[in-house]
């Protein structure tokens, strides 16, 4: 159970939907989601409903209230099938953070402020680097779209709370084979066809873009090995 002496301690609202992390794994990722539900209270009920069999470690409401449902040491059921940097069982490797949002509007300022307070604390406790902060859609292309096109990734990147995108020179010819190789180096290793992979990378880095692959789609993948 979290401490009750820290004024920034989340509200403890335990969920029965958790288990031990498998194979001795510890958190090396933080996966950000949106709830896609009417409000935080409805989402909280579902994340704590044993019949739903879903949960997350944290939920952040639009007003900045933070609830904790599962201890960080335990395996919450938030990520499902997927892969990141060649590793599966993301639930055993991650901390799940849900944000009260349907994905169709910007995230509230108090909510983002609360996220920015929570992330470095988790990162410090588990020695998680900025490149370990990902979206649900990053590790499950095509299956998931959260935290969605309205999520402000550059804001987190500027505070070293997420992998900073590259600004490499775009190639003259947009080759899907090269794009796939660069995306894989960036962490997008989940099985996906070309169109699904392109959509997932754009959702993270260029959500305003559509249509066929362009040279500009390569630029944010340009310095993927840097984490600061």
Distances (CA, A) of 223 to 153, 172, 185, 220: 16, 18, 10, 7
In 3-state terms, what secondary structure has residue 6? Answer: coil
Segments of the chain assigned E as strands: 11-12, 18-19, 29-34, 58-60, 66-68, 75-76, 94-99, 133-135
**So which residues are the catalytic ones?**
98
Phi, psi of 69 (to 5 degrees): -110, -25
């Amino acid at each position: 159970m979290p401490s009750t002496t820290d004024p920034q301690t989340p509200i403890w609202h335990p969920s029965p939907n958790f288990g031990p992390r498998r194979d001795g794994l510890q958190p090396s990722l933080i996966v950000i989601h949106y709830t896609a539900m009417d409000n935080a209270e409805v989402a909280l009920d579902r994340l704590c409903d044993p019949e739903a069999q879903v949960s997350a470690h944290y939920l952040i409401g639009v007003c900045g209230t933070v609830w904790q449902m599962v201890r960080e040491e335990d395996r919450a059921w938030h990520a499902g099938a997927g892969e990141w940097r060649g590793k599966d069982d993301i639930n055993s490797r991650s901390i799940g953070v849900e944000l009260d949002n349907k994905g169709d509007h910007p995230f509230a300022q108090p909510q983002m402020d609360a996220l920015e307070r929570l992330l470095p604390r988790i990162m410090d406790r588990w020695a998680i680097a900025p490149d370990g902060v990902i979206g649900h859609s990053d590790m499950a292309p095509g299956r998931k779209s959260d935290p969605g096109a309205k999520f402000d990734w550059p804001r987190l990147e500027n505070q070293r709370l997420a992998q900073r995108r590259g600004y490499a020179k775009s190639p003259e010819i947009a080759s899907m084979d090269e794009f796939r190789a660069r995306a894989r180096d960036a962490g997008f290793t989940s099985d996906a066809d070309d169109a699904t992979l392109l959509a997932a990378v754009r959702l993270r880095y260029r959500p305003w873009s559509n249509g066929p692959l362009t040279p500009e789609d390569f630029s944010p993948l340009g310095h993927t090995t840097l984490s600061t």
